[in-house]
Amino acid sequence: MAKLTVKDIELNDKKVLVRCDFNVPQDENLNITDDRRIKAALPTIEYILSQNPKKLILASHLGRPKGKVVDKYSLKPVAKRLAEFLNQDVLLLNDCIGEEVVKEITESKQKIVLLENLRFHAEEEKNDSEFAKKLSLLADVYVNDAFGTAHRAHASTEGVTRFLRSAAGFLLKKEIDYLSKATGEVEKPYYLILGGAKVSDKIPMIENLIDKVDKIIIAGGMAYTFLKAKGVSIGSSKLEAEKLDLAKSLLDEAEKKNVKIVLPIDHVVSDKFDKDAESNITDSETIPDGMMALDIGPKSIELFNNELKDAKTIVWNGPLGVFEMDKFAKGTREVAIFIGKIPATTIIGGGDTAAAIAKFNLDDKMSHISTGGGASLEFLEGKLLPGIEALTEKE
């Protein structure tokens, strides 16, 4: 990559501002329920500490406080978890900008400082230049390691780079390297697995990758719009009626380009969307009236795995069923287990797909699991991400 990385800049005796993505889920008692994003930032944090900086200043958002101070979105639980991982104190400040923050950073004996939630200030998401400048005054250099927000031009991702020499952290670089593999010269056969609820979410990605992939497997909620476009009865399954013509045209385009589209051939169906609902398996791709498909059936699992077995590169974005309900998780789980055994580069788009892989304890079976759902989707759509574009170019 042509951008500076954290290894390209002098960190000794410098105040280093690192934008992390500590936007972690918590329960009603504010206990962190999934700390993968904190763990993902540790290689960059530990490397910077090894370079003897004057201060390591960490910054992140958490939740959607909408520019106001909201106690439940404080980074206190993150500071506590970080201190446990790093085995040293992490000082959480009461704010992220201002004279008091500068003073505390300067006078504190602690090496690691965590700023309070950036989004307690509305100026963060507005990419306010004055706010970005105040952030920049805290440090000598800036490192972006928050891929999950790289598609947003915010003050802490894009604005601050106008004032400080800026580099990518290890996590950001890893994301770019892997996702670039999916959009550039790819080892073939190259297969795309698409799931999730909406066709509309995936259209730009299909359009960007259809000239590169050899096969597209479509399941999850979006599959039923494609099946309907082929004239298959889908009962009361999820349908984006306004996307039927688009689905037809994508099927036609794939056929012209010799890209095989694989759709489910049986389904796990129920008469209601409920974890305890009675369910049946259809004997074909047709879904009976009054029934909705909530997962792929056993014949589809066998078909998908057979279609994937010779892959050299797999990009997977979107679960194949309602995996959050155990009764409808089998399709996603079985295909995930199968591709974890294939000697291929397996790239998992973030968000729900990453959550599914984590639920099934298969993280270590995949080549790369993206930490940013929206960011990975936009990267795979071929868009430039402002948080990456803004970093300092290598000379």
Whether 81 sits among the annotated catalytic residues: the reply is no
Distance CA 27, CA 24 (A): 10
Residue type, 65: P
Are β-strands 267-270 and 279-281 bridged in parallel, bridged antiparallel, or unpaired? Answer: antiparallel
Residue type, 149: T
Out of 63, 67, 98, 374, which one is annotated catalytic?
A: 374
Distance CA 308, CA 342 (A): 9
Count CB atoms within 10 A of the CB of residue 226. 24
Are β-strands 292-296 and 267-270 bridged in parallel, bridged antiparallel, or unpaired? Answer: antiparallel
- Largest Cα–Cα distance of the chain, in whole Å? 70
Whether 37 sits among the annotated catalytic residues: the reply is yes
The alpha carbon torsion through 219, 221, 227, 231 (nearest 10 deg) reads: 170
Whether 318 sits among the annotated catalytic residues: the reply is no
Distances (CA, A) of 5 to 41, 157, 165: 14, 15, 11
Quote the distance between the C-alpha of residue 378 and its chain's center: 10
Out of 198, 248, 327, 365, which one is annotated catalytic?
A: 198
Q: Catalytic site residues? A: 37, 198, 351, 374
